[in-house]
């Protein structure tokens, strides 16, 4: 299974992380996204006319959407990361957060590119959209906590969590703070505690140096 990869891309990291958690080896093909813009060269556009990363090849199968890659890897090696068969509620929650995750890419990812790589964009719109998305995520995690669940869609992590995690964790790169969102920070702790979790450059453990945002409430 070959992944056309850029080490600093959160979307590529989603796939590397899912593969690591599922125990699936990847053949990583580094692509010079910045400054070389290799993803826009003819040989890459022949694989993905949209000119985006990641791209996953497995035999005759070619995937260009990260959510599809997460589902494919999980289906082949880690079915517990998918909705339970016959559980319509769980399936709907997973799908809802998978559909939500592109908003994180557009707003949080856009703000990050603007701040770090000087990519053009409406930074005020991206910041406002990113904050709105984080508030929605915070509320969703709060509701899950009220149900006794630590993850977005189920009582265990699913591909929905992996789809949303990277751009949220990297939000501070776009000058969007995570301090106001205790449930998000608690969720990030839970994901980082998983066996076989792998790091990405830029995702820091600073939030782990702070007290657990719910510790005092639980002790009271």
Give which of 88, 220, 58, 73 is closest to 159, Cα–Cα.
73
For residues 18 and 10, is the Cβ–Cβ distance under 8 A? no
Give residue-wise pLDDT tens across range 114-151: 998 888 999 999 999 999 999 999 999 999 999 999 99
Q: What is the pLDDT of residue 117?
A: 84
Q: What is the pLDDT of residue 211?
A: 53
- pLDDT-flagged residues of the chain (< 70): 204-220
Q: What is the pLDDT of residue 32?
A: 84
Q: What is the pLDDT of residue 205?
A: 58
Q: What is the pLDDT of residue 219?
A: 42
Please, what are the domains in the chain? 2-81 (3.40.30.10), 88-219 (1.20.1050.10)
């Amino acid at each position: 299974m070959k992944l056309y990869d850029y080490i600093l891309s959160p979307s590529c990291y989603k796939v590397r992380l899912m593969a690591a958690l599922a125990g699936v080896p990847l053949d990583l093909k580094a692509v010079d996204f910045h400054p070389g813009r290799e993803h826009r060269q003819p040989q890459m556009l022949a694989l993905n006319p949209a000119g985006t990363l990641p791209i996953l090849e497995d035999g005759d199968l070619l995937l260009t959407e990260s959510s599809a890659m997460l589902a494919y890897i999980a289906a082949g090696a880690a079915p517990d990361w998918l909705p339970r068969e016959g559980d319509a509620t769980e399936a709907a929650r997973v799908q809802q957060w998978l559909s939500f995750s592109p908003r994180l890419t557009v707003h949080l990812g856009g703000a990050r590119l603007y701040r770090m790589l000087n990519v053009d964009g409406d930074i005020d719109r991206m910041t406002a959209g990113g904050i709105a998305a984080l508030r929605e995520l915070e509320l969703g995690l709060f509701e899950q906590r009220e149900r006794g669940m630590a993850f977005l869609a189920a009582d265990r992590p699913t591909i929905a969590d992996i789809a949303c995690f990277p751009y949220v964790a990297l939000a501070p790169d776009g000058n969007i703070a995570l301090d106001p969102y205790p449930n998000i920070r608690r969720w990030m702790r839970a994901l980082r505690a998983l066996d076989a979790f792998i790091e990405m450059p830029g995702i820091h453990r600073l939030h782990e140096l702070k007290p657990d945002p719910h510790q005092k409430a639980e002790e009271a």
